[in-house]
Structure 1
Amino acid sequence: MIIDKIDIYGYGKWVNQQFELSDGLQLFVGENEAGKSTLQSFIRSILFGFPTRHRRVNQLNTYEPKTSEKYGGRLLLRETTMGDVWVERTQSGVTITTPDGQILPESQLDQILAGLDVNLYDSFYSFTLANLQELANIGSDQLNDYFLGIGTLGSDKFIELSNHLEKQSTQLYKKGGSVPPLNVLLNEYEELQQRTAQYESQNDTYQQFIAQKQQVELQIEQNIAAIKEAEIALHQSEQLLAMYQIYQRLVKVRKELGELTYIPITNTLNTELTNTEAMVERLQNENVSLASRLEELQSQLKQETRLEWANNRTTEREQWLQLTIQAKEDYNNLEKLERQLVEIEHRLNQLAQRGQFYPDKINQQKTIPYEEAESLLSQTAEIERQIDRIGIERKHFIDQRKDVQNQIAQRQQQITYFEHQAINLKEQLKEVTRPSDYLVGLLMLLIGGLIWLYNQFQPLNQLLIRSGFGLLLAGILMIGYIAFSHARKRQEYDLDAIDQSILALEHEIEHFAQQMQQLSLTINAREDEQNHSKQQLTEFNQQKRHWLTQHGFYPTADLELIVKTNPVQQYIDEKEKQSQFQKEAGGLQARLANWLEKITPMLERFPASSAQLRDLIRHVETIESNLQLVLNNSRINLERQTATQESIDINMQEIERLNQFIQDEYQKLNVENRKEFDQLIERNEYIRSLEEKERLYLEQIGDKEAQLEQIGDQASLEAIIERHQRKLQSLRDSIEPLQHQRANCAVEINNLEQDGTYSDLLQQLEDQRAAIIELYQDWATRKLSSSMIVQTLRQGLDNPIEEMNDLANQIFKILSNHRYEHIRINKRNLKVVMATGDVFEPHELSQGTLEQLYVSLRLAFIQSAVTMIRMPIIIDDAFVNFDETRRSYAYDVLKQVGEKHQILYFTFDKAVCDQFESEQIIDLEKMN
């Protein structure tokens, strides 16, 4: 059985989703929550029913959809016992239909699944990572029985299935029973037959037509039998005619074989001779190359002209080489001395420059009077100290005068400040004591006075008089208040104090002016003393310059530095060292000249391109190195000539031996050369091809050879075929009248059967017969399935299935990378054998090897049990804990098993996509 298509109406997260599966290995890839477990549960639910309360022990989720009202879906199954069928399961129940729409009984699903339920299916056709991890929890004493239980040796699940099917068949029919449904139907059918027979015996006419019909049917059957015999005879004659030409070719082939003689030649002789001849040819070609190489080496040795000169002057060359080594050392020392002399000359110049003297004048003096210089330095220092002291004092007085000048300036600034302040106060006082402040009071006083005077001349009313008196009084008070206020302002602005401060500052300025005059006189006196001391310092400097020029120094030289460092003495020491180095250099030059004289013969034979000493030394070393190379090459050349000659001799011996082997083999076969040997091989090949044709013709003819020998010619056989054809046509023509006669009898019988009682009995008999057939098919299916399982298991118990062992060995070998060769299984135990021959029991294996053994036995048993039932294999990430290498081997096994069996492999490992074709992979995440 193969699941071809999955159509989900609503199941968990999957709603209105379709999948098309491949016949072999199909991978479902997706992370957690991608729907892998949901899809596995859907397949089990469609085949075996939705999860119920009983089945939810290990499956807690019923996967009822939240976004769809319809619960369930369907599967398209191919290669079942019913052909291609759709199995649809919803909340309404299960429906089985063919692709053309025909609805099958629900009981057919049990036949398609061969009686398997979900537990049996999971036990044999499904395994997960949990099954492999379970191996770690099984005790060592139970492992052997556990692995025996995987194969047919311990298939209690299949035995249980067989017993279950046997029990169901017994419930349908039991020999001698009366209760089972099929027994009841058979008894009722027998009673109906008896009642029908009674009605038939009462009708003579009916019996006559029945007898006549049976007689006609007998004649038809006899004619049909005669037709079949005639057809067989015709077919045999036609076969003989078709085989006659093959027989003629067989006779011809046998004639050719009788004329040829087969000379046996071993299968490897031709290869050995070909390889030997190729070896001879290769050795001959190699000798040609070696001879050419030998001539080339001899020619190279003759062309080397320096070899003889070097061999004749071995002693002189050794002396020249030793002298050259010494000359090289002398030349290096000479170059070192010359560099040191240059450095000394450079230091002498630097000493003369730093010491500020003239070398030629220094060389003329024996001693230099440094005491005079020290006396001049001490006197000069004393005068310089005196000048500094006077300068410091003068500077001090100048600073005091500057302070006095600053005091005078400060006082003048203060006087200016006070003068500006007095001017500002006077302006402010004018502003706050303006005469216009009296205007309002005077105006009020004037109005009050006018009212009083007017009242004197003409009396006014009291109110006006009082108003005038009030204005007069208010004016007097206001003028008095303003006068008092102005007087107080004048007291606040005290201008006399400012004038007194200015006067005091002017007295201080006069005092500071007298001090500044006194300081100026003191400063002038100190300046005169300083000028006198500078005049003395100039005279002493002239004396120093005179002393410097007198003793060979620069006039501008630093006398103090000369006295402290004494550069002249350093200069004299360097001059002595220079003289010593010049003497050593002269000795080295003399030795190099002697070396040049002694190597003159070599330079005459091998002239140098340069006359420089270093170039000559390098030239001699190069010549000697080249000569040594020539001598080494000549030695190597002679060794190669010897080795080449030895190789040629060895090859010649091998060629003689191989040629002798070839001639011996030719002599055994009675041939002279390779051409005759090839002809002999071709003849043997031709004889074998004739024998193959003879075998093929005999297979085609079969057991008809004796009959073909008796045939005279092809024309007589064709005449026999023509007689058979005429007879066959005559028999076929005689059937048609008989068929018309049978039809007439059937019409008469049918008319007589229209009587109600007899007709009802016949209808009941047909209905009962149909019910018996249907129930019998169900009973036969279960009985046959049980019998097949028992027969297969019985064979496995008596003799373990060789096919399963072979399959398990192949799978286990691949999974273990050929570390284990095969698995030994018998009734009592199971053992594995390594490639080294070591034998282990299951409890002695590692966890990884136990998992590989488990997978091998499960897959091998599934393939070997295909004769009983064939179901898709479901694997749920069983190899996720395998390392990369073991997982790769496991995928190779899946590819191999998938060629003959459908496998549905569910995994979250996306690396598996690199191991398989894209057509085999369904990415569940992309379908969400």
Structure 2
Amino acid sequence: MKLIELHIYGYGKFEDYVIKSLDQLQIFYGENEAGKSTIMSFIHSILFGFPAKQSAEIRYEPKNNPKYGGKIKAFFPDRGVAVIERVKGKAAGDVTVSLQDGTVGGEELLKDLLKRMDKSIFQAIFSFNVHGLQNIHGMKGEELGRYLFSAGTLGTDKLFNTEGLLLKEMEVRFKPSGKRPLLNEKLKELKDIQSSLKNAEQQNDQYSELMSMKEEVSNKISQLEDEIFVLEQSGTKLREYKRNEKLVLEAAALDRKIQVHNPSFFPEDGLKRLEKLDEQHKSIQARKLRIDEKKDQFLKDLERHKPNSDLLEMETEIQARIENLPLYDQLKQEKRLLESKLEEITEEIDQLNDKLHTDFNEGNIHEINTSIFIKEQADNVEQTEQRLVNKKLELESSFEEEKKALADLEARAEAAKEDLLAEAKRTVLVNNLDLLENKERIQAELQYVMDQIESAKIKEESEKARRRQQQKKDQTQLLLLGSIFLIVSLWGITNGSWFLAGIGIAGLVFLLAARLKSTEKMPMEDRALSRLLERERALKESLNSQPEGNAYMIKSLLAKDEEARLRHRELMIKIEQQHDRFEKVVQQFEAWEADEAQLKRKRSELLKQFGLTDLSGPIKVVDAYQLIEKQKQYFRERKRIKESLKSVTGSLSEMENSLKMLAERFLHNGKLAPVEAAGLLKRTLREAIDQKSRYRELTGKLDEMEEESLSLMKEEEVISQEKDRLLEQAGTEDEDGFRMKAENASLVKGWKARLEDINHQLLVSGITDEDRIMILTGIPLEEQIEENESKLVKRKRELSAKFDLLADVKHKMKVLEEGGIYSELLHKYKQLQHEFTEDAKEWAKFAIARDLLSKTIERYKDERMPRMLAKAESFLSILTDGSYVRIIPQISGSGFLIERNDHVLFEANELSQATAEQVYVSIRLALAADHHERYPFPIIIDDSFVNFDHNRTNRTIRLLREMSNNNQILIFTCHRHLLDYFAENEIVNLQEKSTNIV
């Protein structure tokens, strides 16, 4: 992923702020509060969402701008260029992602692009700042190594903090040698209670006997209470029997009377039902007479209101034509409007053709390409043209400024050159000053040379005497040896022994060479003496030629000349720099001319695509595109109007013909105007509809009367059948017998009602049928009540005695339990044992978590860390210029050993502060580089090298440049001296007020 462009709508202090063309290595410079942290937060927020309002992170909502958010253009290797836009909406903002292939999505698509990367993990791995170095400053001993290990694992100090937190939580609960932790205290208390419990067990035998007696007495008390409860319930029931005894006797008497006087079956409410049927029969006969009279009157009215059936059959069509009459006027008006619009739009088309000097028609206008792509090209040409105009003005201004500055510098250089001393004069002054300052040195050197000459002469004389003696000695030896070698050679030649002859000749040659070498040494000593004599003569000449003058004055002149020369050199350097700037402006002019030529070609090609090659005057490409697009709209509009006019004309003709046909058929006049014919048809149709409605109403009423008459006949028949069924059910032949039987049934009904009331009262009192039989036939209730009371009194006396015995047992047990002996101690021991177990489980959670963390660390050290450390070692070697070459994980736990190039190992706390910072930076950069293959995200660095000296900073920037070949690196700083390490196009100056930075 590479960030290409940032566009801030509103975020913190930035409003409508654009940063374009971000490089692989980009530095953002700004003084304090210039907005560096805002830009970093903006990148994080657009990619991962705005911080929540309850979050500790700053949301950077703009104060004076309602727009909150912005967009980022970025390149993804597998998806191409994507535009990620996030604006204010839900908690994290509303995000829209647009890909190069036209795909548009939201939060899910963004998560896919970011490979499900979490914001906290991204900040931990790919974003680090000076706070990580500040944490190093405050750490000592083993903490520093653990912190570096945590930074290399997660990118943050979370692992370091988590390990410390788990250890702290464990030590709060338990320490092997501690006394104050919770588990230590409870363990001591458990031991004390266990000792007391053993002492209390000795008294447990007597206590067990009392416990058994207490349980036995308690069971007997429960048994007596159950018996008393049963006796009390039985007494209550017997008293209830006594209270309801009279009702039971009355119910038995009523039951006997009902069985004696109960008649055969008689219908329920039979007499009322018979009287009601007689009344209904009389009412039906009266209604039948009234209906017959009405039927005669309705038949006469039907004959008078018979409707026109032909006209009513055409009702739907006539109604439709009448209802469409307003549409007829509307269509006529619409026709006039369409004809007027057709003339206007034809005139507009002709005017646009005149403006464009073309003859576009419906056939060739659609051949012109006015797609969005062409429009975008036209907009680009227009924008480029405006940009080139602005660029030209800027370049002309820059050209004049640079030219004026160059002329000013050259004039100043010429003026400074006039203040310089001539080279010959300056040389003389320098030599004179040198001679004046070195006179004593020359005298001392002359004395030394003279002493050397004297010594050399003495040495030469003694050497000559020694050589003469040596020469004599050598000559004697040479003559002797020469004679020997000569004799040997002559002997070999004479006797034919060429080997001996060769040895003799070789010896003679060797002696001759030695003689010549000894004579060559003599001139070398003569040459050394000659050089000393030559140096003596030169020194004497120097002393004789010492100039007259003041050394202080010469120094003053030379110092003044040196200042003038320094000013002149500075001006010449500035002139060279100004020449370079001037040349850059000239090169920019040339680039501008090339862009302008390319723009003219694009403009000509677009106009040619628009069919506008023969324009008499200049025209903007965008204007031409808009005019052609407008002309297309006019042609489309004219075509639409023609089709609408044709449709309206057809509708008008169809309406007029249909109204004419209807008028001829029903009004017998086909010459009426459409509006007049419609009015007459409407009135005629309304009359026919009224007649039809009246006819239908009369027919309906007549049918209703017929139905009502049939219904009455059926009701009359049903009533007769119902009366016969009642008499048959009662077993009588006439109504008089039926009425006598009804009186007897009324008496039995009253007895049954009383019996039912008594049964209900007995049921409420809980008296069942078995209870009734017992009351009527069993032992007298008075005797049963007395016997039950006697048993109840006896059981209550027994219960009281058992309660006294239980109180005595409890008192004895209480005496044994005083002081909290066995049972209390046992309860306390079990409770404390349970609490200890629960607290131990809590301690075990943290112990297991710490163990899992340790195993995870070991696994990371074995599997993933070697690859990361290899990169970190390479980076550390670069940063320390080869002084430190290896980073070795500790054998157990977390932490590192650092190996120097002489194979000496250091723990992290033994390093200097600056070297520890370099180790931290190496590990963080290696962590980001190690994740690059899976997560190719940019690395964001915030002032993490401010404590480095010049050399370390230089090596760090060199390393970042190498890494930028793979990762995009964004550096945020407030230190101006870091800008010297970057090119101008790599710097984004946040101090600039422009809303667009390219």
TM-score normalised to the size of structure 2?
0.28
Q: Which has the larger radius of gyration?
A: 1
Length-normalised TM-score, structure 1: 0.30
